[in-house]
Every structure is written in C-alpha cells, then in structure tokens.
C-alpha cells in the first residue's frame, strides 16, 4: 500500500464512500491534496442510499437542499427526492468529479492504530495502509438494529430488516407485516398498502406526523432550473427559511412559538384526517411533537385507513411459524415480515477498532457515551476527524450542509499540519469537556428532552444532538479556535 509522506503532502485515508466521503474527495482535491484514498466496505458508493432500497424510500429534506452547494441538480423530479434519485445523483457527482478511481470497494477498515505519529490501518482484505490523517465519513445510520423479537427465526415466511430489503420476495397478494413506526415504516406503509392483500403495522409508540406537500416539478420548471441557476438559488433560500427558521431552530427551543406552530400543525393533521375516533386515539402520541424525530408524510393517515390496512397496538409476545402472536393471544398470520426497527445510532466508526495515543481504545473512551469536540475531534486521537460524528446536528439540519461546513473546518485544521506548524492536532481534553458540559446543559431546553424515548437519547437520557441554532453552528464552523486544540511537533 502507499505509505505516508511528508507533512506538506500528508497521506489521507477517508473511510466511507457515501455522501460525506464523496464530498471529502472533491474538497481535498480542490485544496490541492493529492495523496489520499477512500476505503468503502460495500461494492459501490452511496452510503445510506445504497443500503436503503425499501419501497417508498425518500429523503425528508427537500431535494434542492439535500444537494451539494457546488453541484445543483436541476433535474430533481420531486420536492422530496426518492432514494433511487438520490443514489443516482451521488453516482453522477462521483463520476463528474472523478471520485471513483480513488475508492477501494469491498475494503472494510478493521482497525486504526496511532503509532509513532502515524495511523496504521488494518483492512478487511488482509492488507495494511499508513496515514498521516484519517477522516471517518462512515455515517450514522448504517448498522441495522433488529429488535429483540422472541421466535423470529421460527417464522416460516420471509423476514428482513428494512435496510436489507429482499427484492426477490414477491409482495403482491401477500399478507405483509411491518414492525416499527419510524420514518421508514411510515414510508413503507404508504408505498405498499394498496399493493398487498393485507398490511399490518405493529406500533409500539404512536408518532406525530407533520403534513407536507410532495409535489412533482414539471418539465417546464426543470428546464427553467437548468437554464437559469439563479432560480435554484432562490428556491434554496426559500427552502432554507422553511427548514431552518420553522423547524431546525424550533426544535432546540421547546417553548418557542415556532415549536407551538409545529405541534398545532401535527395535531390538526391527526384530527382532520383520521375519521375513525378509535383509530385516531391509537395514533395519538402521549408526548410532544418532535420529541422523537418528526415524521413528514403527505399521506400516511390516508394509507393506514386503507381497507387492507390494520394498525396493531397490542404488544408483540413472540413470533411463530405462521406469524406474530400479540399479548392479547391473537395470531396475526403473515407471509412477509419487515423489521423496521432502526439503527444503532451510537456506532459511528465502530466496529472498527480505533486506538489513539498510548493505545487508548475508543471503545473505552466512549464506554459511557460517544462524544467529540464539535462532533469532529476526540482528545488523544490526533489527526483523526469525523464527519457527522457524535452530538452533531443530525436531528435538525440537512446532513449535506453539515458535512460541507465540517469538511471546510477539517481542512483548516489540516492546513496547520501542511504548513508545518504541527505534526499532530486534536481537540484538547479541557475544550472537549467544556463543550460537552455546555451541550448537555443546553439540551435541556430542546424538545427532545420533554419526555419520550427516542434514538436521539443516550443511555443517560441526554439528547445526542446539536442543541443550539443553525446560525451558531454555521458561525462555529467558520474557523477553528486553535486554542481548543492540542498541537504537537
């Protein structure tokens, strides 16, 4: 493998070829770096959009915001793009910017160990590499979580996790069950309910659903976007106002007027669109809107009232050969079962073994909760940076916007190495401690702390997300406060 070189031409290893990994390659080249490589565990790029191919998969951020700022896409066909369209967008960007030649597919990073001022990487194919800088663009939601379902392997039909969809399994005319009520399960419900013989949604916790308009862009609109870039710019400004001012900044202030407006919209959506009072009460959450990740759907309430659909709220007791047995004793006979129970949101770079100075093991450092200074850098793990790492704004901003800011920030830290000001740089323990204490204190004001269980919460019940406004995040990302970093050499 290619090894590390001098400080002015550092060897950079990027882990992951999803949205953030593709972005990192483009921005490294733009900054004049040439000695880098991407290791991707799968056989093609795309990250979450490669992994999730379930019926109805789409992004809940408007397409023209879920787009690299430097590569607008006038061809988005809908306001909220499908997973397939997003995957095609990333594939096209990677091709245009010549990203593919630097990706090594089917190559999982098994370990990163910091020794003698460099990172030693062990790869899944038995090979090794050495790097001066490691950038973990490995994503957040990519380790499927299969809920503890007694008897799951006794089920005689087909079952799979929503992120491992088996497209060889026919669904038409079948009895299909879905376990879960997160965004994925809601999208699957809308996509399948009128295509199967029977659809059962097993709900443990009701969800608030924010109404949304997901309209198609006409051919004329797409032509106008392609011929006049200012039209896309104007649309992005409008969408940013909607997403940031009305949603992103609302959820970090539980008592704000904006949060009250969201709750009112969700309540009216439920009251006006669910006709059956019994079903309506089953669908009514007992916590505040957006305490869990807010569901955006134009048609879930319509879908769950379809004659083929049934909302099952009795708890699951176990699975058996013919289907799901709930605690009321009823057997729900099924042909296909989809487990849409989310992901291990606390994994990040793991299960790769990461050891910093003196053999300090990241698993030990994170034994209580994952943390990082500004979600980017961990004390005693020099020249190791994360994109969309712990406690970042995963819950309230567009991840592409986050990643663009973070890559710009990391490049400024790398410039310190490149200029010869230091050989190693990482957040100091003191700065990280101050940041985490402030984050935890501020998170008490956010809607996520108002009393519900969600994947945002760590084992101590503290929201693991950026608790301040978008403007503060943007300001923080403009330039590193170098006094918050330990620099060696």
pLDDT digits (tens, 9 = 90+) for 277-330: 999 999 999 999 999 989 999 999 999 999 999 999 999 999 999 999 999 999
Nearest 5 degrees, angle CA 84-CA 347-CA 109?
80
**Quick one: what percent of the chain has pLDDT higher than 70?**
98
Residues 266 and 408 in one domain: no
Is 51 within a domain? no
pLDDT over threshold 50, residue 2: no
Number of domains comprising the chain: 2
Residues 157 and 134 in one domain: no
Residues whose CB falls within 8 Å of the CB of residue 446, separated by 6 or more in sequence, listed in order = 251, 252, 253, 254, 463, 465, 467
* Average pLDDT score over the chain: 95
| 254/263 Cα distance (integer angstroms) | 10
Last residue of a domain, one of 339, 364, 386: 339
Residues 372 and 484 in one domain: yes
What DSSP letter does each residue of 240-275 carry, written as one string? Answer: HIIIIIIIIHHHT-TTSHHHHHHHHHHHHHHHHH--
- Residues 213, 296 contacting (CB under 8 angstroms): no
pTM confidence score: 0.95
Q: CATH number of the domain that 367 lies in? A: 3.50.50.60
* Average confidence (pLDDT) over 125-144: 92
pLDDT digits (tens, 9 = 90+) for 76-102: 999 999 999 999 999 999 999 999 999
- Cα 193 to chain center, whole Å? 26
Distances (CA, A) of 40 to 37, 163, 219, 314, 381: 10, 18, 36, 41, 22
Q: How far apart are the first and last CA of the chain?
A: 26
| Per-residue confidence (pLDDT) for residue 348, from 0 to 100 | 87
Kindly provide the b/e burial profile for residues 16-27, where b requires at least 16 CB atoms within 10 angstroms of the residue's own CB: bbbbbbbbbbbb
Residues 462 and 431 in one domain: yes
Least confident range from 17-21, 239-243, 349-353, 393-397: namely 393-397
Residues 285 and 326 in one domain: yes
| Per-residue confidence (pLDDT) for residue 310, from 0 to 100 | 98
Last residue of a domain, one of 339, 358, 385: 339
Residue 35: CA count within 13 A, CB half-sphere: 18
Last residue of a domain, one of 301, 319, 339: 339
pLDDT digits (tens, 9 = 90+) for 209-252: 999 999 999 999 999 999 999 999 999 999 998 888 889 999 99
Q: Which domain holds residue 167?
A: 152-213+238-339
Beta partners for residue 336, in sequence order? 158, 176
Least confident range from 154-158, 262-266, 458-462: namely 458-462
Helix/strand/coil for 426: strand
Nearest 5 degrees, angle CA 251-CA 163-CA 135?
70
Residues 260 and 139 in one domain: no
Helices (H), strands (E): how many in the chain? 14, 21
Residues whose CB falls within 8 Å of the CB of residue 388, separated by 6 or more in sequence, listed in order = 20, 137, 139, 140, 375, 394, 399, 402, 403, 406
| Per-residue confidence (pLDDT) for residue 112, from 0 to 100 | 98
pLDDT over threshold 60, residue 3: no
């Amino acid at each position: 493998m290619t090894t590390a070189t001098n400080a002015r031409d550092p060897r950079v290893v990027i882990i992951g070829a999803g949205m953030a990994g593709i972005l990192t390659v483009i921005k490294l080249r733009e900054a004049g770096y040439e000695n880098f490589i991407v290791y991707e565990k799968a056989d093609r790029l795309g990250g979450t959009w490669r992994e999730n191919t379930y019926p109805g998969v789409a992004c809940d951020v408007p397409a023209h915001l879920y787009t690299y700022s430097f590569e607008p896409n006038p061809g988005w066909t809908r306001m909220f793009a499908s997973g397939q369209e997003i995957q095609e967008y990333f594939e096209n960007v990677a091709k245009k910017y010549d990203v593919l030649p630097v990706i090594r597919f089917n190559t999982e990073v098994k370990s990163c160990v910091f020794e003698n001022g460099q990172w030693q990487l062990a790869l899944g194919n038995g090979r090794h590499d050495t790097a001066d800088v490691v950038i973990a663009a490995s994503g957040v939601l990519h380790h499927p979580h299969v809920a503890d379902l007694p008897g799951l392997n006794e089920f005689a039909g087909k079952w799979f996790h929503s992120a491992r969809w088996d497209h060889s399994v026919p669904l038409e005319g079948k009895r299909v069950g879905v376990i879960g009520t997160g965004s994925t399960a809601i999208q699957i419900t809308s996509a399948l309910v009128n295509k199967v013989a029977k659809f059962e949604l097993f709900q443990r916790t009701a969800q608030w659903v924010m109404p949304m308009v997901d309209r198609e862009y006409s051919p004329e609109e797409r032509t106008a976007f392609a011929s006049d870039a200012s039209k896309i710019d104007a649309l992005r400004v409008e969408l940013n106002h909607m997403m940031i001012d009305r949603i992103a900044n609302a959820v970090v202030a539980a008592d704000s007027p904006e949060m009250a407006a969201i709750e009112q919209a969700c309540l009216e959506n439920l009251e006006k669109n669910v006709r059956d009072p019994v079903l309506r009460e089953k669908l009514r959450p007992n916590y505040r809107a957006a305490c869990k990740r807010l569901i955006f759907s134009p048609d879930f309430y319509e879908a769950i009232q379809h004659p083929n659909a049934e909302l099952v709220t009795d708890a699951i007791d176990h699975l058996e050969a013919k289907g799901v047995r709930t605690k009321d004793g009823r057997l729900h006979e099924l042909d296909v079962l989809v487990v849409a129970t989310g992901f291990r949101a606390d994994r990040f770079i793991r299960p790769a073994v990461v050891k910093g100075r003196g053999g300090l093991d990241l698993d030990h450092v994170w034994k209580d909760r994952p943390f990082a200074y500004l979600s980017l850098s961990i004390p005693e793990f020099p020249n190791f940076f994360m994109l969309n790492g712990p406690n970042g704004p995963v819950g309230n901003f567009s991840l592409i916007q986050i990643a663009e800011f973070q890559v710009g920030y990391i490049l400024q830290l790398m410039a310190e190495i490149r200029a010869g000001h230091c050989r190693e740089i990482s957040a100091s323990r003191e700065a990280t401690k101050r940041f985490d204490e402030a984050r935890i204190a501020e998170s008490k004001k956010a809607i996520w702390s108002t009393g519900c269980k969600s994947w945002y919460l760590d084992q101590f019940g503290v929201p693991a997300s950026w608790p301040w406004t978008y403007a503060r995040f943007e300001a923080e990302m403009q330039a590193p406060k170098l006094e918050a970093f330990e620099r060696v050499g």
